[in-house]
Amino acid sequence: MIWPRKLQQYLTPTIKKATLRGARNVDRQLRNAEFRQTFVAYAMPGTDVDELLSTDMQRAILDYHQRTEKEIYLSFVESQISMGVTNPKDILEPYVFRSNVSFEMIREFFEDISLLISIVEDFDANH
């Protein structure tokens, strides 16, 4: 499980539930120091963190976060990945009195989807 470190105080109930189920903080096992400063990571005992969260994946997540300033949440459970990306815009409310076509919004969707696909591809390649 990977969460934004700056929001860790708000995630205390979630972290407590994870630790009650056996998850432990694995920040020390992550090789990318900048990733460790930006995200907090928890995993179940026996999880090969280097294999699950490759250096390339860490770099891609970190680059995306720095470029977009969006928060990213990840969870790996067996062969499933759950991902979340924050978006400050209300993307589910269409405009009524003007066009909803926006190149900027399409570009943002494309970047979000590209990151998520690259994470899945990296996970598939290593597992």
The residue segments making up the domain with residue 10 are: 2-126
What's the confidence (pLDDT) of residue 79? 75
Whole-number pLDDT of residue 91: 66
Rounded-to-integer distance, Cα 68 and Cα 37, Å: 17
Total structural domains within the chain: 1
**What does pTM read for this prediction?**
0.76
Q: Which residues of the chain have pLDDT under 50?
A: none
pLDDT value of position 41: 92
Q: Which residues make Cβ contacts (< 8 Å) with residue 37, sequence separation at least 6?
A: 5
User: Residue 37's pLDDT is what?
Assistant: 93
pLDDT at 4: 92
Pick the closest to residue 43 from 24, 27, 57 (CA basis): 24
